[in-house]
Amino acid sequence: MAKYFDVHPENPQPRTISTVADSIRSGALVAYPTDSCYALGCQLGNREGVGRIKSIRNLNDRHHFTLVCQNFAQLGQFVHIDNDVFRTVKAATPGSYTFILPATREVPRQLLHPKKKTVGVRIPDHVVTQALLAELGEPLLSSTLLLPEEAEPLTLGWEIKERLDHVVDAVVDSGECGTEPTTVIDFSSGEAEVVRRGAGDVSRFE
């Protein structure tokens, strides 16, 4: 049965955030809110967590997982980014964008696109997510909480708790968040390619 954490959306309770972070370090898979929609998240090296996310979402090995980072300094540890792309990405963060970039050796092989050796990264503009990332001190390995054959992600903490009670370990609820996943921009070729139109404005990349 999943633990349920009711977190204030503007002033997250430090003790609660610390408890959630500790559970992630101990191997927990959590459902948590972001600035686009809810996501599933676990610790970067959690192989079992990756398998559980794939099972819940019915994903194949070509799926791009996302490293949700606290800031640009952290993001730079996990992807290679040249000056031109740096400026473009910097101008769009924090925000509802996921950027696909060549991964550094810090990223576990199982998270890489099998051919491109890329990974998704993002910096969310969400108070609760930022508090959790600050407490963790490392990125959250994440994937949008979009269930198989459903058109939109789940957006209500209590509903997520009800439906995923036996497949996740914790649900962080800070109120309703959006229904649109992030806009995904692929920079792996050096040029911006809009892979998915979502919550972020794509005009700056076209």
Query: pLDDT digit string (tens) for 144-156?
Result: 999 998 888 888 9
pLDDT in tens, 27-53: 999 999 999 999 999 999 999 999 999
pLDDT of residue 113: 82
Quote the pLDDT of residue 111. Answer: 87
Low-confidence ranges of the chain (pLDDT < 50): none
Question: Do the beta carbons of residue 130 and residue 139 sit within 8 Å?
Answer: no
Report the CATH number at residue 126: 3.90.870.10
Q: Kindly report the pTM of this predicted structure.
A: 0.95
Give me the pLDDT at residue 58, please.
95
With beta carbons less than 8 A apart as the criterion, state whether 11 and 177 touch.
no
Omega cis (within 30) before 94: yes
Domain that holds residue 116: 3-205
Total of domains in the chain: 1
